[in-house]
Amino acid sequence: MDDVEILVDARGHRCPVPTLRLRRALEAAPAGARVRLLADDPLARIDVPHFAAGAGMEVVEIGEDDGALSFLVGKPL
């Protein structure tokens, strides 16, 4: 895949909304794509990696910028 990266901006929403939006984006994404989730709910730090592990996805990167958490999640080929 050509390093497809899909952005899901869930800032301003409380869990489980960011994780649900991430799941929908990953379901719609082609194999090998990556989805970047932006969230400002502190619970996302726990919920997103837990969801990804249970769904067989890989959390490639976790970062924080200006109060927003950023998760890059890869969908397997």
Report pLDDT for 4.
Answer: 75
Question: By the 8 A CB rule, do 32 and 20 touch?
Answer: no
Number of domains in the chain: 1
Report pLDDT for 5.
Answer: 93
Stretches in the chain below the pLDDT threshold 50: 1
Q: Which domain holds residue 41?
A: 5-74
Report pLDDT for 1.
Answer: 47
Report pLDDT for 2.
Answer: 54
**∠ Cα 62 10 47 (to 5°):** 50
For residue 37 the two structure tokens come to: 């989730």
Report pLDDT for 65.
Answer: 86
Please report where in the chains the tokens 């800032």 appear, as a residue.
Answer: 11
**∠ Cα 77 6 45 (to 5°):** 90
Across the chain, where does the E strand assignment appear?
A: 5-9, 34-39, 58-65, 68-74
Task: Provide the CATH number for the domain around residue 15.
Answer: 3.30.110.40
